[in-house]
Amino acid sequence: MAVKRGRAAAAMVTTLIALVTLLGVGPRPAVADDEKALFHFRDARITESSGLAMSPTHPGIVYTHNDSGDGPRFFAVDMRGRTKATFDVAGAVARDWEAMAASVENGHGVLWLADIGDNLEGAWPDVSIYKVVEPTTLRDATVQAVRYRFRYAGGGRNAEGVMVNPRTGRLYVISKEFSGSIYAAPRQLRSDRVNILKRVGSAPIMATDAAYAPDGSSFVIRTYFSASLFRAPDDLIAKLDVPSLAQSESITYTRDGKSLLTGSEGRHSPVYEIPLPADAIPTQSPPPTPQPSAALKPVAETSANDTTNDTANGSTGPSPTGLLLWVSVALAAIAAITFIARRAR
């Protein structure tokens, strides 16, 4: 009974957060009045684009997939929003796909599809990320996946961001929490047992996606309200002005590393291009052969109630207005939890 009450309370919290987001109450960075979408998804089957990944081998192609409610498949889309191919993924289950990433291994494109959503904040014993060799031809087909199961070292988390360092080949998961975190996967993934994700840094509040630059020199984390560029965990480069979207869910780098593409859920949803500041544009030098990274070392696990001051390293927290908003949501959530607990007695 206690578990059921806890899950119901967590669901209520998630609902309250979603309601605030959908109402557009939160703080949003300013954007230019003449800002226009790069394209809109034309395919009526793409109803909840929840992840984006630029193809490493097909010029002008971006991959996307739907959120929960769809089957295990993804779409190849050109820069005019036209679907060029649809790929069903054999050996995969689409419980709550939330993100995808692309990398290169031995000269071949690789796609990572992250089934990491957990709106009950740890209800699932483990989460899965599927590895697929990028199709060489853009026509409808079925591709085979390798499943990797993961568990967080400090207990279950809800997450919506995944990224791969092109220099090391290492996988990272970004949690979606009030006090979010970056988690590193093991250097060598095992498909025959659960892999442990270890915390290596903090993430902005309520992160919805993430991506590494093509040369591995930096990465970006998207939230409902902003996008932040980092050289390394907790080493902030800049915060970017981003479009005010209905539900900002996805982000990826262009192949040349000079811009970002960011999208939203919804039928015929838009994808915007965001030019990067000059000091954040990758060097364009080819990434070295993947090797273990010494720059990212696991740090102590923290809970969602941690109140560490990040001012010294460039805070990624909310503005005073945003903080007031989230405090209000938290108070409403506490009231909801109390109500549920009393009703369940």
Distance CA 276, CA 146 (A): 34
pLDDT category of residue 323 using cuts at 50, 70 and 90: very low
Strand bridging mode 159-164 / 259-264: unpaired
Q: Which CATH class is domain 31-317?
A: mainly beta
pLDDT value of residue 172: 98
pLDDT value of residue 18: 45
Would you state the structure tokens that stand for residue 232, as one six-digit string? Answer: 């390394």
Which is nearest to 330 in space by CA: 192, 178, 156, 122? 178
pLDDT value of residue 315: 37
Distance CA 214, CA 255 (A): 7
Distance CA 110, CA 57 (A): 10
Asked if pLDDT for residue 5 goes beyond 70, the answer is no
pLDDT digits (tens, 9 = 90+) for 172-195: 999 999 999 999 999 999 999 999
For the ranges 116-120, 195-199, 292-296, 329-333, the maximum mean pLDDT occurs at: 195-199
Asked if pLDDT for residue 291 goes beyond 90, the answer is no
pLDDT value of residue 46: 97
Mean pLDDT of 297-313: 39
Mean pLDDT of 296-310: 40
Q: Where are the domains of the chain?
A: 1-27+318-345, 31-317
Length of the chain: 345
pLDDT value of residue 285: 52
pLDDT digits (tens, 9 = 90+) for 148-162: 999 999 899 999 999
Asked if pLDDT for residue 280 goes beyond 70, the answer is yes
Pick the more confident residue, 53 or 16.
53
pLDDT value of residue 173: 98
Mean pLDDT of 164-174: 97
CA end-to-end span of the chain, whole Å?
9
Asked if pLDDT for residue 270 goes beyond 90, the answer is yes
Q: Which residues of 119-141 are buried (b: 16+ CB within 10 A; e: fewer)?
A: bbbeebeebbbbbbebbeeeeee
Asked if pLDDT for residue 288 goes beyond 50, the answer is no
pLDDT value of residue 162: 98
- Asked if residue 49 lies in contact with residue 75, where contact means CB atoms within 8 angstroms, the answer is no
φ, ψ (nearest 5 deg) of residue 313: -105, 15
φ, ψ (nearest 5 deg) of residue 144: -95, 140
Asked if pLDDT for residue 330 goes beyond 80, the answer is no
Q: Over the chain, what is the mean pLDDT?
A: 80
Asked if pLDDT for residue 31 goes beyond 80, the answer is no
Residue 280 DSSP SS3 = helix
pLDDT digits (tens, 9 = 90+) for 198-249: 999 999 999 999 999 999 999 999 998 899 999 999 999 999 988 877 778 8
pLDDT value of residue 338: 40
The H-or-E segment that residue 163 falls in is strand 159-164
pLDDT value of residue 188: 96
- Within the chain, how many helices (H) and strands (E) appear? 2, 20
Distance CA 244, CA 302 (A): 30
Mean pLDDT of 327-339: 49
Asked if pLDDT for residue 29 goes beyond 60, the answer is no
pLDDT value of residue 271: 96
Where would I find the H helices in the chain?
Answer: 2-23, 320-344
pLDDT value of residue 242: 85
- Asked if residue 292 lies in contact with residue 187, where contact means CB atoms within 8 angstroms, the answer is yes
Asked if pLDDT for residue 332 goes beyond 90, the answer is no
pLDDT digits (tens, 9 = 90+) for 53-89: 999 999 999 999 999 889 999 999 999 999 999 999 9
